[in-house]
Structure 1
């Protein structure tokens, strides 16, 4: 009989139905798990479920009975995959569950920033309308989406879906080649050309040593002062301090950020400190989190576990 332990159950909202495996098992779920609690809680587990709880080699070494790790997310950087492969621990993750949710969040941020909805909302809150004494007022520029150029960095399923939505809105789409690539593949545009031409840049690439601070001060300088930057990928892709400085200095028109270098973002994070800026929209890593997307995640999570128990592992990493 399998013993399944979910280390951070609260990463799936309570109103989302989490199916129970149909095979005989013991189930234990914790709302959250601190690093010092991991080994104790997994002491008898044969299957561990984690969303963001770190399972390092040092931890896994103390859990010889563990046979499977089911990651309740796509990202795998919280699990030592090399150790798992060397010791026969199956690791499965969640795939293609937010292919509507993330792209729609990107488009929502793009419209809100392009039309300065946040700035106008705050102006109304602060009584600017009454001060102007007119039926309308224009304290922030308002731009159209149709005819603008979208630069997509990361041409996976999310990047391609965003591109499809953008094209339906009448936008021109450029897919960026890898930064520093010697040659440009058919259908792609050199990285720095995309920065220079795009009215909106959206990031959809994984975080690695090659992509950390992919957008920093030099890259922001190459973008149009009227351009927008949207990051729903990974926080470390953007130099957060450089982004704030670009917004404050008028070198970038706006930014929509859903991911941060540290999460939850601490109070002294440059973006949080500057959250009062009218051209900066921050959301707490929720682009993926429509109810339908999370339900798909929950269903696939249990499917991954069931497939492993039945001897046909799926979505292995």
Structure 2
């Protein structure tokens, strides 16, 4: 049951709590901060954890990705002082305007995401409406870097597709295209220079891999000093020179369609593309088309991010035999998700201690 209005206690709407048993600890800390949680149980899969939460806090069951359902929940609850999520829920200008309406007992003041990336949030609208935005920068960097290298190994060695062939009792297909290229003999190009990109470069050093890096104009020769990789002047230079290209940039207007069909065709024939950043950076339709060509661009791609995810998942790549797909799981390790939640809770504590 959703909590009735109680304007004396700041309420926080938890769109998706921390995973597994750590959810209860997270909610206890929100409570210790003087907040009254209302918890969405839609993505809590453990019945025992659901029961523990329902016994102690007000609960709802909504689709947090549905903007109308989200707004209706906020309005029905007479507003929330804060909102917390893990997934990239659509905080559009309309949602933010309605969540901050002065007709609500508690207009929204704070939004926190226990993850990196804010591309589904309208940050300009949040600033205009004086809504503070907090997130867990870098908390999952090691986990994403580790997973990225796992995708590289799978893409180069064909691990998952060979396993699928053997499950179908097809030995001939399983041993096709052998011998495979190793990571140590490949040149890897990293697009992006943030925490995750650097973690990937550092880990590749242990394989003896040659690493090239391309970043924004801020990635100058001076800032590249000490990086475990060679700085490239242009994106074209990196794309045309590397056997593996991995993308680690945020989803922004500047990076939208950064690797479209033309850029993908600049990649070496029989190269590998890995994208664990955002789907908008490598449009799925363009990638699907280029992967089906035989004379240019990558011959395989490993993709962890999609324009439509969750129960609404739909992608042209789902029918492409040259693509390995994973369900946006790169940062989903227990330690990374716990760290993201802890980091965000610290941000909430600072906000309520200072009032801003």
SS state at 1:91 partner? strand
Q: Partner of 2:186 in structure 1?
A: 148
Residues 171-227 of structure 1: per-residue CA shift (max 9 Å, x gap): 11111144xx6x983242121010011011000011222222211221222111121
Residues 123-162 of structure 1: per-residue CA shift (max 9 Å, x gap): 2123232x79xxx944444111113111000010000110
Q: Partner of 2:93 in structure 1?
A: 57
Structure 2 gaps of 5+ residues are 1-8, 43-62, 225-230
How many residue pairs get aligned? The number is 301
2:302 is equivalent to residue 302 of structure 1: no
2:272 is equivalent to residue 262 of structure 1: no
d(CA) in 1 for partners of 2:15, 2:176: 50
Greater relative CO, 1 or 2 (CA 8 Å, sep 6+): 1
Maintained 8 Å contact 2:303/2:326: yes
Structure 1 gaps of 5+ residues are none
Shift of 1:61: 2.6
2:51 is equivalent to residue 8 of structure 1: no
Q: Partner of 2:256 in structure 1?
A: 212
Q: Partner of 2:327 in structure 1?
A: 284
SS state at 1:100 partner? helix
d(CA) in 2 for partners of 1:15, 1:253: 42
Shift of 1:35: 1.7
2:213 is equivalent to residue 170 of structure 1: no
1:2/1:265 CA distance change after superposition, 3 Å: closer
In the alignment, which of 203, 207, 220 is matched to residue 185 of structure 1? 220
d(CA) in 2 for partners of 1:268, 1:84: 30
Q: How does 1:85-100 map to 2 (within 5 A)?
A: 85-100=127-142
Shift of 1:258: 0.2
Maintained 8 Å contact 1:111/1:145: yes
d(CA) in 2 for partners of 1:2, 1:118: 49
Q: Partner of 1:48 in structure 2?
A: 83
1:169/1:8 CA distance change after superposition, 3 Å: same
Maintained 8 Å contact 2:82/2:109: yes
2:57 is equivalent to residue 25 of structure 1: no
Instruction: Give the TM-score taking structure 2 as reference length.
Output: 0.77
Worse-matched range after superposition: 160-169 or 184-193: 184-193
Maintained 8 Å contact 2:119/2:251: no
Maintained 8 Å contact 1:149/1:200: yes
Q: Partner of 2:120 in structure 1?
A: 78
SS state at 2:185 partner? coil
Maintained 8 Å contact 2:304/2:327: yes
SS state at 1:27 partner? strand
- Indicate the structure with greater helix content: 2
d(CA) in 2 for partners of 1:69, 1:137: 50
Shift of 1:28: 0.6
Residues 239-260 of structure 1: per-residue CA shift (max 9 Å, x gap): 3223223323333231110001
Worse-matched range after superposition: 115-124 or 190-199: 115-124
Worse-matched range after superposition: 205-214 or 165-174: 205-214
1:217/1:56 CA distance change after superposition, 3 Å: closer
**Pairwise CA RMSD:** 2.4
Residues 67-117 of structure 1: per-residue CA shift (max 9 Å, x gap): 211223222233332233233322211111111110011100111111111
Maintained 8 Å contact 1:84/1:90: yes
2:65 is equivalent to residue 38 of structure 1: no
d(CA) in 1 for partners of 2:72, 2:149: 44
